[in-house]
Amino acid sequence: MSKRLSFHRLTPSLVPLLLLAAGCSQGEAKDDAAKGSGGGGGRAPSVFVGTVATASLSDRIEAVGTAVANEQASLNSTVNERIESVRFADGAFVPKGAVIATLLQAEESANLGVQSARLKEAELQLARLRQLQAQGFATKARIDEQVAAVETARAQGNAVRAQIGDRVIRAPFSGWLTLRRVSPGAIVTTGTPIATIVDYSRIKLDFTVPELLLATIRPGLAIEATAPAFPGETFTGTVASIDPLVDPVTRAVTVRALLPNPQLKLRPGMLLTVELSGRPRQTLVVPELAVLGQGGENFVYRVGQDNKAVRTPVEIGIKRDGKVEIRSGLSAGTRIVIDGTVKVRDGGAIRPVDPQAARAGRPQKAAA
């Protein structure tokens, strides 16, 4: 009760102070409102604007491939024999048909002499029988028998010549031989490698691309390849063929390209980085900073009437050199916000600024 009486006694003295405080608060609020309306706090944000442009683009594919020789073969012995001579130097170029090495063939040569003599004898006997037949002293059956003997002798001689041919290792095509690993006098068995011949005047380059890009790849498409061994140098070629089978595990297909190699810089087995372009086209592009994403949607802010920002959904394509391809949603020449999008909201007012004029230091005026 005493506290209640004390409150009533203080109330008359506090009333003027409370009224003064309330008046100050209302004044500050009015000042703040005035500052907000006239001090710049509610002004439209300044943003850089540009127009939707057109540019030439193409799908670019990058892959890693392995260089393969145009032709390569391992020259192996087909018999068990001793090497008689080796007729090539390490890394030497040899034309097609050149003798690479010979194996001993003394026994086969002697056998060939025997078969040649038998053939000659059989042919002479056949000639005498034909003379006798003309005189009526030889039957047709006897002539046929001797003809068969001649053919048999000839076939036996050819068989011996084939055995001798197996002991002469020849180049199946023109190319370069690898380092020599056999010497005269060494005994080789069936399947022993004598040398490897490589034709790398043209390189086959095998690489894989995802099946989703199959529509971009076609025979004759130009490619560019680079090798770590030759920094700064580009090797050009064309797509030669596409494997008809798609790997069901990687969902990729193997593509083979051909690269001329006149200076023989590229070697089989080298790792190359491949780049190729497909589907060249004229398309719409905008700066990459102009495109925003939310959820699964991409959009830009288009400059609408009275300089109002209009959120516009777009379908984008590839990105290249700071530009984004626009497949749908905009047309050429449309004005859009290209920088400062974080300050923009859909339907909000903006102050368009020309980037080129801003870089030049010229004053800007808001477009009507």
Q: What is the pLDDT of residue 214?
A: 86
Number of domains in the chain: 4
Q: Is the pLDDT of residue 9 over 80?
A: no
Residue 367 lies in a domain: no
Range of the domain at 227: 62-68+196-280
Q: Are residues 183 and 84 in the same domain?
A: yes
Domain stops at, among 280, 295, 327: 280
Q: Are residues 263 and 296 in the same domain?
A: no
| H-run or E-run covering 246 | strand 235-247
Q: What is the pLDDT of residue 213?
A: 83
Q: Are residues 318 and 269 in the same domain?
A: no
* Torsion sign over Cα 323, 329, 332, 334: negative
- Span 137-176, pLDDT tens digits: 888 999 999 999 999 999 999 999 999 999 999 999 999 9
Q: Are residues 210 and 249 in the same domain?
A: yes
Residue 304 lies in a domain: yes
List the beta bridge partners of residue 281: 57
Residue 111 lies in a domain: yes
Residue 41 lies in a domain: no
Q: Are residues 247 and 295 in the same domain?
A: no
d(CA 173, CA 97): 7
| H-run or E-run covering 292 | strand 292-294
Report the CATH number that the domain containing residue 298 is assigned in CATH. Answer: 2.40.420.20
Q: Are residues 127 and 83 in the same domain?
A: no
d(CA 129, CA 365): 120
Residue 38 lies in a domain: no
Band of pLDDT at residue 43, cut at 50, 70 and 90: confident
Nearest to 173 by CA among 93, 105, 251, 107: 93
d(CA 328, CA 314): 6
Residue 10 lies in a domain: no
Q: Are residues 204 and 275 in the same domain?
A: yes
Q: Which two tokens stand for residue 44?
A: 């439209």
Q: Is the pLDDT of residue 18 over 70?
A: no
- Span 250-286, pLDDT tens digits: 999 999 999 999 999 999 999 999 998 877 889 999 9
Collapsing DSSP to helix, strand or coil, 7 comes out as helix
Give the phi and the psi of residue 194 in degrees, each rounded to 5: -95, -45
Nearest to 72 by CA among 202, 189, 223, 254: 202
Q: Are residues 211 and 140 in the same domain?
A: no
Domain stops at, among 246, 265, 280: 280
Q: Are residues 210 and 240 in the same domain?
A: yes
User: To 10 degrees, what angle do helices 140-166 and 106-135 make?
Assistant: 160
Residue 26 lies in a domain: no
Q: Are residues 99 and 173 in the same domain?
A: yes
Q: Are residues 142 and 203 in the same domain?
A: no
Residue 136 lies in a domain: yes
Report the CATH number that the domain containing residue 96 is assigned in CATH. Answer: 2.40.50.100
Q: Are residues 296 and 337 in the same domain?
A: yes
Q: What is the pLDDT of residue 124?
A: 95
pTM of the model: 0.62
Pairing of strands 271-287, 187-188: unpaired
Of residues 85 and 31, which shows the higher confidence score? 85
